[in-house]
Amino acid sequence: MASLDKHYMSLALRLAKDAFGRREVPVGAVLVVEGRICGWGSNRRMNDNQIIGHAEILALETASASLGDWRLMRSTLYVTLEPCIMCTGALLQARVDRVVFGCRDPKAGAMRSLFALGEDPRLNHRIKVDEGVLADECSNILHEFFEKLRS
């Protein structure tokens, strides 16, 4: 599983680099169902002037369109940054089985940093969460982006 996780996370990192090139916060996401990439996205909030233009939401939308179903069971989302509350809520609604993220988001992370919403026993669905896949690479692109933004 570890080598597959690294493979899919490297694809999510490519999408994050695309976002960086568009001057978006560099976050990329790839959604895999039974070994097949069905959805992908990178942040587009600024470019599309969309509040919900997060990589995870876009990956869910493309996967749902590809599969013709809003229920994305037996799926794994690979995302470079820990999902926020909005994205975690959407992942729960879509019935995603597993989320693998690269680095934590200490200011908005809803799966480990601030909350553990994906594993909350009060909810009717739970998400298996794995973190730290290509963490340094995922963290470095964010640091580089924000350093450039400040200068």
56 is an active site residue: yes
What is residue 47's three-state secondary structure? helix
- Taking the C-alpha atoms of residue 118 and residue 26, their distance in angstroms, rounded to an integer, is 23
- Taking the C-alpha atoms of residue 84 and residue 87, their distance in angstroms, rounded to an integer, is 5
Per-residue burial over 5-20, b if 16 or more Cβ lie within 10 Å, else e, is beebbebbbebbeebb
Catalytic residue among 24, 34, 56, 82: 56
Residue 90: what are its φ and ψ, rounded to 5°?
-65, -40
Work out whether strand 36-42 and strand 75-81 pair parallel, antiparallel, or are unpaired: unpaired
- The residues carrying an active-site annotation are 56
